[in-house]
Amino acid sequence: MTTGMARPTGPGSDGPGVPHRPLVVHRGPDTPRAAVLLLHGGRADGLGPPPRLNLPALRMRPFGSAVSRALRGREVLLASVRYRCRGWNGPRADAARDARAALDELAARAPDTPVVLVGHSMGGRAALLTGGHPAVRGIVALAPWCPPGEPVAHLRDRTLVLLHDAEDRVTDAEGSWLLADRARRAGARAHTIAMPRGGHTMLRGAHHWHRLTVDLVAALLDGGPLPGSAAGMSPE
């Protein structure tokens, strides 16, 4: 059993000729009852591996630590996705491919375990695109990258919450609101939360982002009502 929020190993740590393993387990109880999978951000394009000093991955560490502390004593597996490439790379959708592979590996490791995805920016896009995976119970998307025309039919019967600061200058909050509306019309339980500050990096008001994410994850894992501001955005 591993505990705590371990630092993900670098993309080249598997060594030459060793298959890429996208699932990095930080906290692995012997018999998990649920799992949380973190997906960090990246770039629109970039075929090279993420650097060892990977700022998007570092931004997710406080979220992982907050989730780990809040769920201490519960049999919840905490893991993250390690990307093969730094970028999304157009139709290749490399981050989503790695997310699917990580979900498949997680499902094989802990069959019938419900998973909540927590993704930021490009990781939010990957979480939303892979949210139809049978293991996924819910999605928390933090300042997600939501281009026009993203598919949503696969999100039917899923619960998703999109958090965004309208002042974000990297990804568009309006894109999040539009995707959530389309997902609701496709049968998803989609909710949106307008964050009062934080921009794209979520540094200003970071505690609010962390606390709300933890509360959302706990509610999704328990199948209970969503907290405060999210509950006010009930699907029509």
Residue 168 above 50 pLDDT? yes
Confidence of residue 16 (pLDDT cuts 50, 70, 90): low
Name which of 20-34, 71-85, 166-180, 218-232 the model is least confident about.
218-232
- C-alpha dihedral sign at 108, 111, 112, 113: negative
What percentage of the chain carries pLDDT values higher than 90?
83
Mean pLDDT value across residues 103-130: 97
Q: Say which residues have a Cβ less than 8 Å from residue 95's Cβ, sequence separation at least 6.
A: 39, 42, 81, 83, 85, 88, 122, 123, 125, 126
Alpha-carbon distance 118 to 140, whole Å?
5
Confidence of residue 176 (pLDDT cuts 50, 70, 90): very high
Residue 44 above 60 pLDDT? yes
Confidence of residue 227 (pLDDT cuts 50, 70, 90): confident
Per DSSP bridges, beta strands 23-27 and 136-142 are: unpaired
Token output for 138: 């819910």
pLDDT in tens, 189-206: 999 999 999 999 999 999
Residue 233: other Cβ atoms inside 10 A = 17
Confidence of residue 73 (pLDDT cuts 50, 70, 90): confident
Structural contact between residues 84 and 22, judged by C-beta atoms closer than 8 angstroms? yes
Mean pLDDT value across residues 134-156: 97
The pLDDT of residue 224:
86
Q: In whole angstroms, what separates CA 46 from the centre of its chain?
A: 20
The pLDDT of residue 14:
54
Say which amino acid occupies 93.
Answer: A
pTM, two decimal places: 0.90
Confidence of residue 229 (pLDDT cuts 50, 70, 90): low
CA distances from 97 to 94, 125, 202, 224, 229 (A): 5, 12, 26, 30, 32
Residue 184 above 70 pLDDT? yes
